[in-house]
Structure 1
Amino acid sequence: MAPVINNGDVVMVDTAVDYFDGDAIYVINIGGETQIKGLQRRADGVYIVSANSLFPPYLAPADLFIAGKAVVQYSARQIA
């Protein structure tokens, strides 16, 4: 999800939200692979959307499992 969420960032996730609860960033699992991605409702279904433009949006597959909704993100940088 870079540049929105970067390596080393801390993300707090509401694991009580295990369903699509509107356009937002979620922890999802597809085929055994866990990812943090945006989910967005469009006219023809829910799409998985990455903040990285190298990865185009695609229709969420039937085996999509929502593990939680990202609610807070903290960034940290090493300064020395």
Structure 2
Amino acid sequence: MISVLAQERLLGAALGCAFTGTIVFEQRKRIYDSVSHHQSQLPSQSQVKEPIFGKKSRSEFALLWNKTVDHIFAPVIEAISSRRW
């Protein structure tokens, strides 16, 4: 037969496991609910704007950059060309 002390320890362990399992379950449930709630508030793909450096923005930026460089360095290029380098 199991002694009274062993029964108390076994009961304590069982209750501790049940309590810990309940706490872990509730915490996971809250985490999943908050993640699900957060994802439902995100805009859908059709509502998402193009990122700052999307394909269109990058090509426009590259064109603007090239025009600016040409404008700034045109006198330098002409000076070098006139010297026949």
Structure number with higher strand proportion: 1
Return the index of the structure with the highest Cα Rg: 2
TM-score by length of 1: 0.15
Relative contact order (C-alpha < 8 Å, sep 6+): which is higher? 1
TM-score by length of 2: 0.14
Structure number with higher helix proportion: 2
